[in-house]
Structure 1
Amino acid sequence: MTTQTQYDVIVIGGGAAGLSGALALVRSRRSVLVIDDGTPRNAPADGVHNFLTRDGVPPAELYAIGRQEVQGYGGEFADATVTSARPDGDGGFTVEADGTAYNSRRLLVTTGLTDVLPDVPGLAERWGKDVVHCPYCHGWEVKDQAIGVLATSPMAMHQVQLFRQLSDDVTLFLHTAPEPTEEQWEQLAARGIAVVQGKVEQVEVSHDKLTGVRLEGGKVVALQALAVQTTVRARAGFLAELGLETTVVEANGVEVGTAIQVDAMGATGVPGVFAAGNVSSPMAQVMPSAAAGLMTAAGINFDLINEETRLAISATSSAQ
């Protein structure tokens, strides 16, 4: 294993949060290495939406622009997969990635998350195309279509109303979700949302397009798009040696996934380790993730300044 020069900050993850944080840090004259494995969460999507001035830009293009900007200020990149991170014994950290060890004074974790899809055959193959999850990310692209919502928890009642805003033809498939309450049945009826009971057993596809879903018993309901609820898992297993664990995230009392817990400036429970973006805020879209990267970078820079000031005072005192 080879060891590289120490950096002020290693950013693990090269998506919106990581690149935004790296940009702020290099502009503050910090030495920065971004390690990225090239597998962003939104890779299957055709475009990034609700990102002012960049609406509709393909994810790969957005990240390529970000890389160029970071490199323009002296930031460095390593295309690799991080396998572990641990204390280096001198107050900093050693990060291992594809057989190389890198050292840094601080860590910024922006590895995002993984979407765990419901176990329905054919669903994963259409993910990011006509199987979607976020009405704000993909809603305009499926507007006025026949949209189905696959319910796996009570959160589907919220999701189906959001998609009803985009189309008059919306069907809720109860699948594995509990029976709606009397109040929810009233809301569904008032909004003209069709409800289908029973499990969905197959996604139907023809000519590379979703055409519907097959229910248990064989009945097929025609659709053009299907919204699903995913369980989100923070990509943070490599942090185990630091003693940093993920916590369960809930919404309206329903477990939706895991995340790294941070404070307002992105600091985790491990001194010197910070996190931003979906790995710590699962519901954040690209724009707020980028904003979080910037704010967390500011926190890291000031943390380093405080350390450098203490060392300068100590050195001055020793010289007297």
Structure 2
Amino acid sequence: MHTDVIIIGGSYAGLSAALQLARARRRITVVDAGQRRNRFASHSHGFLGRDGHSPSAIADEARQQLLAYSTVHWLAGEATQASQVAGGFEVVVNGQPLSASRLVLASGVTDELPEIEGLRERWGRSVFHCPYCHGYELNQGAIGVLANNAMAMHQAQLLPEWGQVTLLLNGAFVPDDEQQALLTRCGVKVEHAQVLRLEDHASVVLKDGRRLHFSGLFTVPSTRMTNDLPHQLGCALEHGPVGSYLRVNELKETSVPGVFACGDTARGFSNVAMAVGDGAMTGASVHRSLVFDH
């Protein structure tokens, strides 16, 4: 089956890109594996008009609206192969080949969480990575920052806007004199003891037996591409402090002509609002390429 555009990823960025193309009456196939990055969170914040709504409800409503357009085909499954062919691209989904003139990569990234007992089951509930998404609801209470990489310093300096912060180093690094001065200036406490596990809502048990109680915890996970398609296609990468993402130009096109990318796949930092904006720009750019680039 040949369509104008195949979009890999049916979350916020992919849905937004698809909507622009559907409204241009283009034939689209959206391939979705059903693994939204924020599926662990019960509420989404900071997206205009949907503040506090369930992430799944936002995505489900958007999908229903998209599927009202007759040129949209939704395919549940995982894209495992992608390559350039005459006239565009071929993508293998559920073992079946699909082809299109343009390709949009919007399958996002996978978070690789710190290996701390009790963290994974609290991810998105009392352990977070984005203060703009979850900081307000902590009501200026005690906040712990679990160091995992160099971004812990950034979080520790930013989060005092939302509460009283303790930076839990957990062996990830030791602040130098300049960093310690910055933390002191921000009113951040520094805890050197090793973290053994998380308990209750957001309590931290240290190796020396102490328990620290927090309203919520933040950490910056490392990330990796959700699939191998960018590598198969030869797309150039940018390397950020926590992981790689696709290099795109101002029109959201990758280094491979005809392949576009949006959302977490193509940003070092993102949230729902940014992903939707990225997708809208990508959809319009893809449509224009179909019209003007031959």
Query: How far does residue 288 in structure 1 lie from its aligned partner after superposition?
Result: 1.5
Query: How far does residue 51 in structure 1 lie from its aligned partner after superposition?
Result: 0.6
Q: Provide the C-alpha distance between the structure 1 equivalents of 2:179 and 2:234, rounded to a whole number of angstroms.
A: 43
Give ranges in structure 2 of 5+ residues lacking alignment: none
Instruction: Tell me if the contact between 1:86 and 1:239 (Cα under 8 Å) persists in the aligned partners.
Output: no
Q: Which moved more, 1:233-242 or 1:69-78?
A: 233-242
Q: Which residue of 2 aligns with 1:228?
A: 219
Could you list the runs of 4 or more consecutive aligned residues of structure 1 that deviate by over 4 angstroms after TM superposition?
none
- Aligned to 2:97, the other structure's residue is in SS state strand
Larger gyration radius, structure 1 or structure 2: 1
Q: Which residue of 1 aligns with 2:179?
A: 184
Q: Provide the C-alpha distance between the structure 2 equivalents of 1:176 and 1:304, rounded to a whole number of angstroms.
A: 52
Taking a change above 3 Å as real, the CA distance of residues 44 and 242 of structure 1, as seen in their structure-2 partners, is same
Instruction: Tell me if the contact between 2:80 and 2:227 (Cα under 8 Å) persists in the aligned partners.
Output: no
- Aligned to 2:243, the other structure's residue is in SS state strand
Q: Which residue of 1 aligns with 2:281?
A: 295
Query: How far does residue 99 in structure 1 lie from its aligned partner after superposition?
Result: 2.2
Equivalent pairs counted in the alignment come to: 293
1:203 counterpart letter in structure 2: L
- Aligned to 1:256, the other structure's residue is in SS state coil
Q: Which moved more, 1:39-48 or 1:175-184?
A: 175-184
Q: Provide the C-alpha distance between the structure 2 equivalents of 1:236 and 1:113, rounded to a whole number of angstroms.
A: 8
Q: Which residue of 2 aligns with 1:131?
A: 127
Q: Provide the C-alpha distance between the structure 2 equivalents of 1:273 and 1:187, rounded to a whole number of angstroms.
A: 42
1:215 to 2:210 alignment: no
- Aligned to 1:48, the other structure's residue is in SS state coil
Which of 55, 60, 65 pairs up with 1:69? 65
Instruction: Tell me if the contact between 1:234 and 1:246 (Cα under 8 Å) persists in the aligned partners.
Output: no
Q: Provide the C-alpha distance between the structure 2 equivalents of 1:245 and 1:84, rounded to a whole number of angstroms.
A: 17
Q: Provide the C-alpha distance between the structure 2 equivalents of 1:134 and 1:72, rounded to a whole number of angstroms.
A: 33
Sequence identity percentage: 38
Which of 276, 280, 285 pairs up with 2:271? 285
Give ranges in structure 1 of 5+ residues lacking alignment: 250-254, 311-320
Which of 19, 22, 25 pairs up with 2:18? 22
Task: Give matches, 1:138-217, under 5 Å.
Answer: 138-167=134-163, 169-205=164-200, 209-210=201-202, 212-217=203-208
Instruction: Tell me if the contact between 2:90 and 2:100 (Cα under 8 Å) persists in the aligned partners.
Output: yes
Q: Which residue of 1 aligns with 2:228?
A: 237
2:266 counterpart letter in structure 1: S
Computed over aligned residues only, the root mean square deviation of the Cα atoms, in angstroms, reads 1.7
Which of 31, 36, 48 pairs up with 1:35? 31
Normalization by structure 1: what TM-score?
0.86
Q: Provide the C-alpha distance between the structure 1 equivalents of 2:186 and 2:257, rounded to a whole number of angstroms.
A: 50
Query: How far does residue 275 in structure 1 lie from its aligned partner after superposition?
Result: 0.4
Q: Provide the C-alpha distance between the structure 2 equivalents of 1:117 and 1:72, rounded to a whole number of angstroms.
A: 38
Task: Give matches, 1:253-292, under 5 Å.
Answer: 255-292=241-278
Q: Provide the C-alpha distance between the structure 2 equivalents of 1:243 and 1:22, rounded to a whole number of angstroms.
A: 23
CA deviations on 1:115-150 (whole Å, 9 max, x unpaired) are 111121111111000011110011112222221111
Taking a change above 3 Å as real, the CA distance of residues 158 and 242 of structure 1, as seen in their structure-2 partners, is closer
